[in-house]
Amino acid sequence: MKRRTRLLREERGMMGGYDVHIRYKNIKNLYLRVQPPGVVEVSAPQGMTGAAIEGFISRRRTWIDERLRLICASAAAEKRRRYETGEMILLWGVQCPLEVRPVTRGKAYAEYADGRILLYASPDADVEERAEAVRALYRAELAAAIERTVPECEHIVGKHAAAWRIRAMKTRWGSCSTRTASITLNLALARYERRALVYVILHELTHLWVRGHGAVFHARMDRYLPDWRDVRRVLNAQAREDEEGR
């Protein structure tokens, strides 16, 4: 039986020029992520020194800076968008024109039809209500795609996830809990080509075999999806262009 990870203590402060939140746990390795609005979160073994953690952060500076840039770009893009007729909404890699159709009552909602995104909203619906309607469309589209795609991917990998979840994530396309065998996918995947969804699903399922991203993990991915590096590169490039162009 796997030992359950337990939080022992927490510290927060500036380290290497970053706002860093350290969680000390009964684990063997360091783990790092960047969360909005720009906090570097570190999970560290209980006996690790601050100097060792700072060295780890310094070695990952390029990666951290790229994540921070994406978070800032995403926030700026959302502030610019108004969700009005004529704007373009990305769905499964295709730019779809948005058409707002007024309704007199009820909550705003969106649907895809004939290459367009139809947004039904009352004239006084604010930007956040309209944005939530589009996010709900993304969630419905992604949920349906996951249901269609997962069985074949699980067959390829030889592992079965206990649960699939969807969540808005700023810096990762997916995550896998090896303890519960549950997988969470980024809501934004509905914006990009379906091939990217296949890659992320296979990636997260592979973590049910291998926790890290070392040679064993790469070898399995090479077997499951030989061009996965190209798919990942295109997905990340499209995401950067999308954030910069919105």
Residues 132 and 216 in one domain: yes
pLDDT at site 1: 42
- Is residue 90, in this structure, part of any structural domain at all? no
pLDDT of residue 8 exceeding 90? no
The tally of domains found in the chain comes to 2
**If you average pLDDT over every residue of the chain, what do you get?**
91
What is the C-alpha separation between 205 and 160, in angstroms, rounded? 7
Residues 139 and 221 in one domain: yes
What is the C-alpha separation between 30 and 8, in angstroms, rounded? 15
Residues 74 and 139 in one domain: no
Range scoring the smallest mean pLDDT among 23-27, 74-78, 106-110, 183-187: 74-78
Residues 6+ apart with CB under 8 A from 158: 209
- Is residue 31, in this structure, part of any structural domain at all? yes
Residues 131 and 238 in one domain: yes
Under 8 Å between Cβ of 58 and 36: no
Domain of 210, CATH number, reads 3.30.2010.10
Residues 144 and 56 in one domain: no
- Domain holding 59, by residue range, is 7-80
- Is residue 117, in this structure, part of any structural domain at all? no
Chosen domain end from 80, 98, 117: 80
* Statement: the pTM of the whole predicted model exceeds 0.85: no
- Is residue 109, in this structure, part of any structural domain at all? no
- Is residue 160, in this structure, part of any structural domain at all? yes
